[in-house]
Amino acid sequence: MNPTDRDAACFEAGIKFGALYHQFAGTPVSPESAASLETAIEESIENQPFCEDVRVEILTEKLDAEIDDASAGSYTELTGRFMEVEIAVEHEGVEVHTRMEMEDGYPLMKIESVEE
């Protein structure tokens, strides 16, 4: 059986999340640099084919708490627990809306909706 346009659109959304997470996890980030890093992530992922929209929110209050708990430094490494992400992909007339947020201590990436 050949993949449907719906299958391909969902696959493309997964590719975007894989690229986003593994490209930027570990990036040094502070509350002061969060906004510019959000923009860099969004613009980087939006360059990929079929990507319609990317929204990244780095949770600065969680960064503050992490940095306050650290023994040294004024930054921490970016991980899924410090981000909420939404990605929209359009492929062959199928639009997929996805989201990443923490669930049970894990940065879960999931499909919110598929519109044909």
pLDDT in tens, 43-59: 999 999 999 999 999 99
The SS3 assignment for 61 reads: helix
What is the number of residues in the chain? Answer: 116
Enumerate residue ranges in the chain where pLDDT < 50. Answer: none
Count other Cβ atoms within 10 Å, centred on residue 86. Answer: 15
In the predicted model, what is the mean pLDDT of the chain? Answer: 94
Domains held by the chain: number? 1
> Across-strand partners of 98?
87, 111
Predicted TM-score (pTM) of the model is 0.92
**Residue 88 lies in domain:** 5-115
State the CATH number of the domain containing residue 42: 3.30.1300.20
Distance between CA atoms of residues 114 and 92, nearest Å = 12
> Across-strand partners of 83?
58
